[in-house]
Amino acid sequence: MPKIVRKSGRTGLVHNFRPMGKTGTRKTKDFNPTNCAVTYCINIIGGKWKPVIIHLIRQQTDRYSTMRKAIPEISKQTLTNQLRELETDGVIERIVFAEVPPRVEYRITTHGKTLLPIIDAMKIWGRQQMDQ
């Protein structure tokens, strides 16, 4: 969770840790009673919006406002929660540019890139089903 800080023309990288309180914890995070790999994966990318968010960030829709425009049905709170969960799981990173006005961008991490074949398979399958 690096934070890019610019002071008098210099750029430095600062870690931006955001503690998750009680409201930021999710019920399914550690739910995997049978130690199933599919359940583990669904705990990370499951839900209505996470695969869409990952796909958007991959397509350079990497700012909160552009994601809101790309998914008009999602509420502000849900988008915020989903982004925080993906960040906590190491799938995306939040980069804060110390500018006026402040700018925040999201990028897929190296760990998150390992999920892209799954997102691609979902896209291919979905397209095939929509064409039928």
For range 103-124, the mean pLDDT: 95
Rounded CA separation 22/27 (Å): 11
Count of CB atoms situated within 10 Å of the CB of 10: 7
Helix (H, G, I), strand (E, B) or coil at 7: strand
Phi, psi of 64 (to 5 degrees): -55, -50
Residue of 100, 91, 94 whose CA lies nearest to 14: 94
Q: How far is CA 127 from the centre of its chain?
A: 23
% residues pLDDT > 70 (the chain): 79
Domains for the chain: give ranges and CATH numbers: 2-131 (1.10.10.10)
Which of 11-20, 75-84, 108-117 has the weakest average pLDDT? Answer: 11-20
Tens-place pLDDT, residues 6-40: 444 444 444 444 444 444 556 667 788 888 999 89
pLDDT band at 132 (very low <50, low <70, confident <90, very high): confident
Average pLDDT along the chain: 84
1 has a pLDDT exceeding 50: no
127 has a pLDDT exceeding 80: yes
What pLDDT is recorded for position 22?
A: 43
Which of 6-20, 69-83, 101-115 has the weakest average pLDDT? Answer: 6-20
Strands 2-7 and 92-97, bridge-based pairing: parallel
Residues 6 or more apart whose CB falls under 8 angstroms from that of 46 comprise 28
